[in-house]
Amino acid sequence: MSVQKIPAGFSTVTPHLTIDGCGKAIEFYKTAFGAEQLALLPGEGGKIMYALLRIGDAMLMCNDAFPEWGSTGPDGKCSPVKIAMYVEDADALFKSATDAGAEVVMPMMDAPWGDRYGMVRDKWGHEWELCTHMEDLTPEQIGERMSKMDCG
């Protein structure tokens, strides 16, 4: 069976926000914008490692700040906003971006959530997540893979 390279419901560009207090922000988005929570991966200390929301026909990804992984809110050290792009060939787009001068933030990898994934920063400080969906996984499978991930 063929896996969709761009998951159902996603467009090519999807906002991904790092928010200090993500849980409260999710509740606000539900109340203010009618957001529907589609996925939530809890982290240590009540933090949210990943949440997926749908607002109308758009997807929004968000997570709490994890400074130990380089994921921080608006403190000026890195962009709190990441722009996720699902494309047919993330490796080719990664090469194109770095060839054009983008800085590598995270090299391309087979991510534990089933995507081919890498991140670059453009010269204005915006961070771009370049993704190709490779596997459909259950939350349990993702959690198991995440627990084996070396973030050091």
Task: Quick: pLDDT tens for 120-142.
Answer: 888 777 788 999 999 999 889 98
Q: Looking at residue 85, what is its pLDDT?
A: 87
Mean pLDDT (whole number) for 87-91: 93
Kindly tell me if the per-residue pLDDT of 76 is higher than 60. no
CA separation for the pair 60, 123 (Å, rounded)? 24
What is the homologous superfamily of the domain 13-147 according to CATH? Answer: 2,3-Dihydroxybiphenyl 1,2-Dioxygenase, domain 1 (3.10.180.10)
- The residue extents of the domains of the chain are 13-147
pLDDT tens across 27-72, in order?
A: 989 998 889 999 999 988 899 999 999 998 899 999 998 878 777 6
- Rounded average pLDDT over 101-111: 93
SS3 per residue for 13-78: EEEEEECCCHHHHHHHHHHHHCCEEEEEEECHHHCEEEEEEEECCEEEEEECCEHHHCECCCCCCC
**Does the model's pTM come out above 0.85?**
no
| DSSP-assigned letter for residue 136 | -
* Pair 93, 129: CB distance under 8 Å: no
